Structure 1
Amino acid sequence: MIQTGQSIPEVVVQQITPKGIEKTDTVSLFGTGKTVLFAVPGAFTPTCSEQHLPGFVQHFDEFRRQGYDVACMAVNDPFVMQAWMKSAGVPDGMRMVADGNAELARALGLELDASAYGMGIRSKRFAMLIQDGAVKQLFVEAPGEFRVSTAEHMLEAIAG
Structure 2
Amino acid sequence: MSIKVGDRIPQATLNVLRDGVQAVTTDEIFKGKKVVLFSVPGAFTPTCSAKHLPGYVQHYEAFRERGIEVACTAVNDAFVMAAWAKAQDVPAGLHMLADGNGAFAKALGLVLDASGFGMGLRSQRFALYAEDGVVKLLQVEAPGEFKVSSAEAMLAALG
SS of the residue 1:9 aligns to? coil
What do residues 32-85 of structure 1 show as CA deviations (whole Å, max 9, x unaligned)? 210000000000000000000000000000100011000000000111001001
Structure 1: tracts of 5 or more residues without a match: none
Alignment pair present for 1:15 and 2:16: yes
Residue number in structure 1 paired with 2:49: 49
SS of the residue 1:3 aligns to? coil
Structure 2 counterpart of 1:3, one-letter code: K
What do residues 71-129 of structure 1 show as CA deviations (whole Å, max 9, x unaligned)? 00000011100100100000010000000000000000001010111000000000000
Structure 1 segments of 4 or more deviating over 6 A?
Answer: none
> What RMSD over aligned residues (CA atoms) do the two structures have, in Å?
0.9
Residues 69 and 94 in structure 1, CA contact (< 8 A), matched pair in contact too: yes
In the comparison of the two structures, how many residue pairs are matched? Answer: 158
TM-score computed with the length of structure 1 as normaliser: 0.96
List aligned pairs for 1:77-156, cutoff 5 A: 77-156=77-156
Structure 2: tracts of 5 or more residues without a match: none
TM-score computed with the length of structure 2 as normaliser: 0.97
- Distance 1:59-1:20 versus aligned 2 partners, 3 A rule: farther
- Shift of residue 16, structure 1, vs aligned partner: 3.6
- Shift of residue 139, structure 1, vs aligned partner: 0.3
> Once structures 1 and 2 are overlaid, which stretch shifts more, 25-34 or 114-123?
25-34
Residue number in structure 1 paired with 2:68: 68
Percent of aligned positions that are identical:
56
